[in-house]
Chain A
Amino acid sequence: MAILPHPRQIQMAVVDWLDQRFPFTQSVDEALYQRVPNFANAFYYCFGGMVFVLIVLQLVTGVLLAIYYVPDAAGNPAPAYTSVQTTIMKDVSLGWLIRGVHFWGANLLVVMIVVHMARVFWTGSYRAPRELNWMVGVVLLLVVLFFSLTGYLLPWDTKAYWATSVTLQVMRGAPVVGGLIASILQGSSTLGPQTLQRFFDIHVFILPALVLLFMYIHFRLIRRHGISEPL
């Protein structure tokens, strides 16, 4: 009977095998044992981290909600409405909690972004060499606002319908490109099932990809610049 190797030896074999293909151990060391200036311990540097936690929470709960949500606005009551009001809120176990976390997370996210922005504003962290990261952050803010704009329509109740109708009406009035943007978003001559389908597509496919991309750039630049010195 062969003698089984100690688990530690198996682990070391795996680590060595990995290290020969990519410097994992070195990367772990560089990531974890980087030195951080002591001034970075101030409490107000954690708001950005809170925003990150909330965005991850939104992605997780959003994926869970998408299992039961039906982006179909035909008829009254529409399947989109019943899938939220009945399936998620009543039938599925803990569905109400997942939707609640998604709802309140979205609200808290906007609050925390404003707080994080206020901190960056106040400590002057947007100044050289961090201008580019500030601009990436503003783009992220716009992406998040567009997230909440598209997400607001998805339950397909009257108040979402008419709020979106006003939004599209305002967009349509914008000079030069307004009509084009509004017609792309609306998708048909009236606000209807096509609009919901497009808002769902934007909310679930386009914006998450954008938010992940810009978050990656945001963090990459932070790692490059380091944490800015306080006032």
Chain B
Amino acid sequence: MKERAGILVTQWDGYLREGPGAVTTAVPIVEVESGEHVLEPPSKRMQIGPDHILYPILIGLALFPILMGASGHHLADDLPEDETHPFFPDHFWPYPVIMAMMLFTVGLLAALVQQNMQLGPSADPRTVVNPRPDWYFLWLFQFLKVGNEIITAYVIPAIIVIGLLLWPFIDQALGSRLARRLHWPWWPVPGRNVITGTAWVLFMTFLVAFTFWAIVPVTIFGIGGSTT
């Protein structure tokens, strides 16, 4: 068998070399543009390269971002080096800890608090029971009892959902107008988020108040809580 000299060939150890020992002919390496991305200098990286025994685990960790593709130029690319830190392991390490803590919490709840997940008897259209939704729909359940059904069941929930969806634009329109009226030098105000914070607190108060009203047997304006 004769090898053609001068042609790069892949050998069993994966390196491109000239000469004998060729298994296959060389495949050109596909270059994908990485854009203007600035990465951590190798000196600051963990010393786990492609030849390290733990590298396959690193690939596993990075698989999700690989699916994501290149992310383009970042804010962090423009920051001085001492104002940034590498994603791995500096930024990554709390997440396995958080995951373990969450697994532990959920497992503990599942093991110790059983009565919330107890089922009633099998469903039977003839036995009517007092329907109760999940706790996070209780506020809506109670809200339905207040006022006109068309408004409480459809109009206001629709307004809430559309308002949430379009909030960035509402905030932009309201905020700059309010800033002009109050003679604030700029918008948004650094250090505080007045409109949004107030709206959030009011909305949460509304949800919590109606949830409590649905739980406790309190009658306000002739509308009962849990008993009805």
How far is B186's CA from A103's CA once the two chains are assembled, in angstroms? 47
Q: Is the CB of A142 within 8 A of B161?
A: yes
Closest 8 CB pairs of A and B: A100-B110, A16-B14, A31-B65, A13-B14, A161-B123, A77-B122, A162-B131, A131-B168
A22 on the interface (CB 8 Å rule)?
yes
A191-B102 CB under 8 A given contacts A36-B85, A175-B154: no
Q: Is the CB of B77 within 8 A of A35?
A: yes
Residue of B nearest to A106 (CB): B134
A158-B123 CB under 8 A given contacts A142-B161, A220-B68: yes
How far is B86's CA from A156's CA once the two chains are assembled, in angstroms? 49
Within 8 A of B (CB), among A72-123: 73, 76-78, 81-82, 84-85, 96-97, 99-101, 103-105, 107-108, 110, 118, 121-123
* A contacts, CB < 8 Å to B: 5, 7-9, 11-17, 19-38, 40-41, 46, 49-50, 53-54, 57, 73, 76-78, 81-82, 84-85, 96-97, 99-101, 103-105, 107-108, 110, 118, 121-124, 126-128, 130-131, 134-135, 138, 141-142, 145, 148-149, 152, 155-163, 165-167, 170, 173-175, 178, 190-192, 216, 219-220, 223-224, 226-227, 229, 231
Instruction: Give the residues in chain B near A78, CB-CB below 8 Å.
Output: 122-123
How far is B59's CA from A14's CA once the two chains are assembled, in angstroms? 13
Q: Is the CB of A9 within 8 A of B13?
A: yes
Q: Which of B111-119, B211-219, B220-228 contacts A (4 or more CB under 8 A)?
A: B111-119
Q: Is the CB of A81 within 8 A of B119?
A: yes
Q: Is the CB of A156 within 8 A of B13?
A: no
A157-B122 CB under 8 A given contacts A34-B87, A104-B113, A170-B144: yes
**15 A-B pairs with C-beta separation under 8 A:** A11-B56, A30-B37, A30-B39, A31-B68, A34-B74, A34-B87, A35-B86, A37-B76, A100-B111, A104-B117, A121-B196, A148-B136, A158-B121, A158-B127, A226-B76
Q: Is the CB of A157 within 8 A of B120?
A: yes
Q: Is the CB of B79 within 8 A of A37?
A: yes
Residue of B nearest to A159 (CB): B120
Q: Is the CB of B193 within 8 A of A231?
A: yes
B2 on the interface (CB 8 Å rule)?
no
CB distance from A81 to the nearest CB of B (A): 4
A191-B125 CB under 8 A given contacts A35-B84, A138-B165: yes
In addition to A141-B164, A162-B128, 16 A-B residue pairs with Cβ atoms within 8 Å of each other are A20-B27, A22-B30, A28-B62, A30-B39, A32-B88, A34-B87, A36-B85, A38-B84, A49-B98, A50-B102, A97-B107, A126-B171, A127-B171, A158-B124, A160-B123, A163-B134
